[in-house]
Amino acid sequence: MQFLENFKPELIVESPGRINLIGEHTDYNMGYVLPTAIAKKIIFKLQKNGSDTHCNIYTLGYDQGFEIDLNTIAKSKIEWQNYILGVLNEISKRTAKLRGFDCTIESNLPTGSGLSSSAALECGLAFGLNELFGLGLSKIEMVELSQIAEHTYAGTQCGIMDQYASVMSEAGHVILLDCRSLERGMIPIDLQPYKIILLNTKVSHNLATSEYNVRKAECEQGISIIQKKYPEVQSLRDVDQEMLTECKAEMNETIRRRCTFIIAENQRVLKMAKALEANNLEQVGKLLYEAHEGISKDYEVSCKESDFLVDFSKSNPQVLGARQTGGGFGGCTLNIVAENAVEGFVTAAAIAYKKAFDIDLEWFEVSPSQGTTARWL
Ligand code: GLA
């Protein structure tokens, strides 16, 4: 693109992906989650270009770019552009201070891998434009507008976890977030002598076209049945297993299993927070395995490749626990592995995975990292 010839970026933004230690699909049920940012990220370089409304965006990884006029923002047929366009649309609704800009995007964060590359794209752009033009948006406003952009332009009816974790995380901590009140606790996490190892199934998902939105609708069906007996209930967050059992006869088997998972998963987040505080790593691992069982059997958002890797990890006593992380239908499994056993574990997993699925397994170590940052150049 032509703008690249005279590109002198003024600002650089680092926008991280996230892992979620536990608490999957609880965010849109107004429950608890326990995510943190990781050091894999999207990097934005930005400059004002002096125009009122003309913007240029170019992504180095795909060697693709596009131009936008801020007066005529509309959905694109090209998927990744919608994350950008949705954010511009939401910012334009909130402030008249946005002007033309040029932006390049680079990334070492795998897409469709359950590590929230979409939230990193949305929030990083919002963060950068806020800084570049002094828009005066607070961090939580940027988180919320990015979530809305995901709903309206990308088509995933997501909760708030990914955007929140990408922006708000602190190194060395996981965030215990109450997705109803948005109250949060920063929990220090020290797993030594264990490491967090991600195994990427390379089964890539697009949540907008997956059953993600179906799961959300199933939870809503569950709530409306429970509300007949318990009108005060607003979300599955307010329901316990006893209440669910009382309403069981009114719901079909699928809806009952979806609700069972969410209620149990919400409890697991609180148990996990306690286990971390007590440095009870055995319990940390046990909760991960329990969670995966629910993800796979009751909530049915796993896939055979993720199930295979979680099962494989069970044969290694040096792995405390594992589960699929993120929205599901593939992506990465998160494994807690003894430091001195990492190499042996990933080598054996790669051989077994190749044999079973003919896919080259990718792996990396992650640790709880800082949320979004911006730096003037
Ligand atoms: C995706 C969504 C999140 C959350 C997770 C599942 O990552 O964007 O809001 O629902 O799935 O926990």
Identity of the residue numbered 125: L
The secondary structure of 178-205 as a DSSP string is ETTT--EEEEE---TTEEEEEEE-----
Task: From the CA of 114, give the closest atom in ligand 1.
Answer: 7
Residues 6+ apart with CB under 8 A from 376: 10, 11
The first and second tokens of residue 179, run together, are 């997705």
Whether residue 158 has its Cβ less than 6 Å from ligand 1: yes
Give, in degrees to the nearest 5, the angle at Cα 139 between 138 and 140. Answer: 90
Distance CA 59, CA 7 (A): 14
User: Phi and psi at residue 39, in whole multiples of 5°?
Assistant: -80, 0
Whether residue 159 has its Cβ less than 6 Å from ligand 1: yes
Q: What is the model's pLDDT at position 251?
A: 96
Catalytic residue among 52, 63, 69, 162: 162
Give, using CA atoms, the residue closest to atom 11 of ligand 1: 327
Whether residue 173 has its Cβ less than 6 Å from ligand 1: no
The first and second tokens of residue 89, run together, are 């649309």
Contact present, 17 and 37 (Cβ < 8 Å) = yes
Whether residue 34 has its Cβ less than 6 Å from ligand 1: no
Whether residue 327 has its Cβ less than 6 Å from ligand 1: yes
Distance CA 242, CA 260 (A): 10
Residue 354 CB neighbour total at 10 angstroms: 12
Q: What is the model's pLDDT at position 124?
A: 98
Strands (E), 49-179: 54-59, 64-69, 101-107, 173-178
Distance CA 34, CA 7 (A): 39
Contact present, 233 and 224 (Cβ < 8 Å) = no
Whether residue 137 has its Cβ less than 6 Å from ligand 1: no
Could you tell me the end-to-end alpha-carbon distance of the chain, in angstroms, rounded to an integer? 22
Bridge pairing between strands 11-20 and 373-376: antiparallel
Distance CA 80, CA 117 (A): 10
User: Phi and psi at residue 197, in whole multiples of 5°?
Assistant: -115, 125
DSSP letter at 19? E
Q: How far is CA 341 from the centre of its chain?
A: 28
Give, using CA atoms, the residue closest to atom 7 of ligand 1: 327
Which uninterrupted H or E stretch holds 133?
Answer: helix 117-133
Task: From the CA of 116, give the closest atom in ligand 1.
Answer: 7
Task: From the CA of 33, give the closest atom in ligand 1.
Answer: 12
Identity of the residue numbered 298: D
Distance CA 39, CA 120 (A): 12
Give, using CA atoms, the residue closest to atom 2 of ligand 1: 158
Give, using CA atoms, the residue closest to atom 5 of ligand 1: 327
Q: What is the model's pLDDT at position 250?
A: 95
* pLDDT less than 70: residues of the chain: 208
Give, using CA atoms, the residue closest to atom 8 of ligand 1: 158
Reported as a single tens digit per residue, the pLDDT across 160-192 is: 999 999 999 999 999 999 999 999 999 999 999
Whether residue 24 has its Cβ less than 6 Å from ligand 1: yes
Instruction: Mark whether 162 is an active-site residue.
Output: yes
Q: What is the model's pLDDT at position 208?
A: 66
| 182 Cα: distance to centroid of ligand 1 (angstroms) | 16
**Helix, strand, or coil here: 275?**
helix
Torsion of CA 51, 89, 154, 324, to 10 degrees: 90
Can you list the pairs that 235-244 forms with residues at least 24 positions away whose Cβ atoms lie under 8 Å?
235/29, 235/30, 235/31, 235/180, 236/29, 236/30, 236/31, 236/262, 236/263, 236/266, 237/26, 237/29, 237/30, 237/31, 237/180, 237/266, 239/263
Residue with tokens 């190194």: 171
Residue with tokens 């999207």: 42
Q: What is the model's pLDDT at position 210?
A: 77
The first and second tokens of residue 355, run together, are 């044999």
Q: What is the model's pLDDT at position 110?
A: 93
Whether residue 321 has its Cβ less than 6 Å from ligand 1: no
Strands (E), the chain: 11-20, 32-33, 35-48, 54-59, 64-69, 101-107, 173-178, 184-188, 194-200, 319-324, 332-338, 362-366, 373-376
Task: From the CA of 159, give the closest atom in ligand 1.
Answer: 9
